[in-house]
A and B are shown apart, each in its own frame.
Chain A
C-alpha cells in the first residue's frame, strides 16, 4: 500500500488500483502540485501519459467526490528507488479540456503531451511546443475522440463496379 507524499495538495482522492499501485484523482488545480509532490518523493520517471475520451461513459465508476468529465488525462509515474508505480487520473474537462503541462517537472512528457493534444485536443498549459506530432499539421479534428469517425476508403476490386 502506497501513501500520498506529505507535500501533496490537501484533499486529493485516492483509490487502490490492482495489487500495489495507487490511483489518484486530483482536480485540475491539484494536478500539477500532486505530480510535483510525487516527483519530490522519489518518482523519477514519468512512464506514460495519455488521454482518454469517456464520451459514452459519463456515469463511469469513480471514487466518491470525483466529478467526471468527458476527457481524462492518465499519467503513470514510476519510482525506481521504491519500485512502485502510481497512476494519476485527472478529469481534464468537457468542451475545452485543459490541464497544466508536466514539462517543467518531467521534460520527457513533452512528446506524450503533444500526442494527447494531437489525438484528443487536450490543451496542456505551459507546454513549450504544443503542435501536432503524428497527424499532418493542417489536419482537422482529433482522431481518437469517440465522435470522430473511423472512416473508410472505398476499395476498388478488380472487375467490380466502382463506388460511382
Chain B
C-alpha cells in the first residue's frame, strides 16, 4: 500500500528559508503526512493506480478535526454558479466535490423543439464566451447529415471568426484569472482588449455575444466593408499587448508563487479523466483537433500547437497566452488568403432567396416563408462532429429522424468534462490554491449545465 502524499510538482521550492533567526516558514507541502490527507474519496479518484488508493484512508480520524465548507454557488471566484463542497483541514483541502446544475435550463430538450434553422440560437448560448465554436460544431453536424458543401469563403470566414473568438475567450480567462489572483489591472486590460473583438463581432454579425452567425450552409452575412483593416488593427493591438501581459504577469513574483507548481496533473490522469484542450496540452500531450484532425481549412494555415510540460497552473496560463499569439498568426493568414465568392451555400434547401427576389417573385416569398416557419428537412441519420473550442473538444451529437427538428441533440461540452479534474487538482492544496484551480480549469457554467 503506497503512502499517499500531497500532490505537488517537482519544481516547487522548499518553503523553509534561512533567516537571521534560524529557519523559518511553512513546512514543505510534500512533507505533510498522508493521514492528514487520506480522507479523499472524491468520486473521480477511486480508480486504482491513477490518483489514490482508497484502502489507505485513515478512517479512525474523527470528523470534528475537519471542516466542511460550502463554496458557491454565488461566489465571485466560481465564475458563475459553480458550487464546491470542500472538506478542509485547517487551510488545506482534503476533499472537493463540484455540485452543478444551478444553471440547467434544459437546452438539449429545447433543442428538440426548435427547427434546424433556429437551433443555432440555442447552441450559441451554451458556451457564452465562445459562441462561434458552438455554432460551428452544430452547423458542421447538420451539414454532414445534409451532405452539402460549404463555399470556400464561408470556410475561411468561419475559421477567422472562431480564432477571433478564441482570443476573446482567452482574454476573458486572463482577466478573470488575474482578478482571482488579485491583479485587477489584468482584469481591466483583458476586458478592454476583448471589447475590440466584440465591436468587430457587432459590426459583422449584429450582436456582441450569442452571435448566431455561423449557420448551416455558411455564415449569416458577408464580412463588412473594410474588415481587413479592422481585423489587422485588432491583431496588431492584441499582439503587442500580449507582451505587456507578459511583463505584468509572467515574471511577477506573487503571480508565479500562486501558479508555478500548483495543482499539477499528469498526462495519464488527464487522459483517464477525458480532459481536452489547454488542460490536456499542459501535461505535454500535443492534442489539438485543429492540427490532429483538421477541419475547415486549418491544414492550409501555419500555426503551432502550444504544449506544456508540468501540467500545473502556470503551464495552463502560458498555453492560453501563447495560443492567443498563434490565433493572431492564423487570423493574419486568413486576412491574406481570404477567397472571394459566396459566403453561404447556394443550395436553395438551406439558404433563403436573396431579399431582392422576395419582392418580385411569389415562389421566392413562399420559399422564404417555408424555410423560416417549417424549416428544412434533414435526412435520417446520426453524426458526431467535434472541433476544438477554447476549452477543449466540443462535439455535437445529432440524431435526425428525417423531420425539420433534431430528434436528439447532445452537446459534448468541454467544461462539463473538464470539471471532473477539479477534485483531483484541489486535493492537498491550500484554500487559496483552490481558487486558482477553478480559474485555470476555466469552466463556463452555461456550457456545464446547458
Contact = CB atoms under 8 A, between A and B. Distances in A.
B140 to A, nearest CB: 11
Interface stretch (B202-210, B358-366, B407-415): B407-415
Interface in B242-286: 271-276, 285
B22 interface: no
Interface string A46-57: 111010110011
A46 B274 contact: yes
Contact of B292 (A52, A76, A83): A83
Given A80-B292, A134-B101, A135-B104, A110 B395 contact: no
Contacts of B189: none
A71 B198 CA distance: 42
A108 B101 contact: no
B47 A103 contact: yes
A48 B271 contact: no
Nearest to B420: A111
B144 interface: yes
Nearest to B386: A47
Interface string A21-38: 100000000000000000
A85 interface: yes
Nearest to A127: B43
A45 B271 contact: yes
Given A44-B271, A76-B384, A133-B101, A111 B416 contact: yes
A108 B420 contact: yes
Contact of A111 (B395, B399, B407, B417): B417
A107 B104 contact: no
A17 B293 CA distance: 17
Contacts of A108: 44, 272-275, 417, 420
Contacts of B449: 134
B101 A107 contact: no
A109 interface: yes
Contact of A83 (B293, B382, B450): B293
B382 to A, nearest CB: 8
Measured as residues with beta carbon below 8 angstroms from the partner, the interface class of chain A is 35 or more
A18 B383 CA distance: 8
B47 A129 contact: no
A109 B399 CA distance: 21
A134 B104 CA distance: 6
A144 interface: yes
A104 interface: yes
A124 to B, nearest CB: 13
A53 B417 contact: no
Interface stretch (B69-77, B105-113, B124-132, B337-345): B105-113
Contacts of B113: 150
Interface in B28-82: 43-44, 46-47, 50
Contacts of B273: 107-108
B356 to A, nearest CB: 37
Contacts of B399: 52
B287 interface: yes
A161 interface: no
A66 interface: no
A153 interface: no
B44 A110 contact: yes
Nearest to A20: B293
Nearest to B393: A47
Interface string A122-141: 00000011001111100000
A111 B109 contact: no
A74 B108 contact: no
A143 interface: yes
B397 A107 contact: no
B386 A57 contact: no
A128 B337 CA distance: 52
B149 to A, nearest CB: 14
B93 interface: no
Contacts of B109: 143-144, 150
B269 to A, nearest CB: 9
Interface string B108-124: 11100100000000000
Nearest to B43: A129
A81 to B, nearest CB: 11
Contacts of A17: 382-383
B412 A48 contact: yes
A128 B108 CA distance: 26
Given A53-B408, A108-B420, A47 B271 contact: no
B8 interface: no
A148 to B, nearest CB: 8
B103 to A, nearest CB: 9
Nearest to B396: A48
Contacts of A104: 47
Interface string B404-446: 0001101010001101100000000000000000000000000
A60 B383 CA distance: 15
17 contacts: A44-B271, A47-B393, A48-B384, A48-B410, A57-B407, A80-B287, A80-B292, A104-B47, A108-B417, A108-B420, A109-B274, A112-B417, A128-B43, A133-B101, A134-B100, A143-B106, A144-B108
Interface of A: 17-18, 21, 44-48, 50, 52-53, 56-57, 60-61, 74, 76, 80, 83, 85, 87, 103-104, 106-112, 115, 119, 128-129, 132-136, 143-144, 150
Given A48-B384, A110-B420, A150-B106, 6 more contacts: A18-B383, A44-B271, A48-B397, A53-B408, A60-B380, A135-B101
- In the complex, the 5 A-B pairs of residues with the closest C-beta atoms, listed nearest first: A108-B274, A48-B412, A134-B101, A108-B273, A50-B410
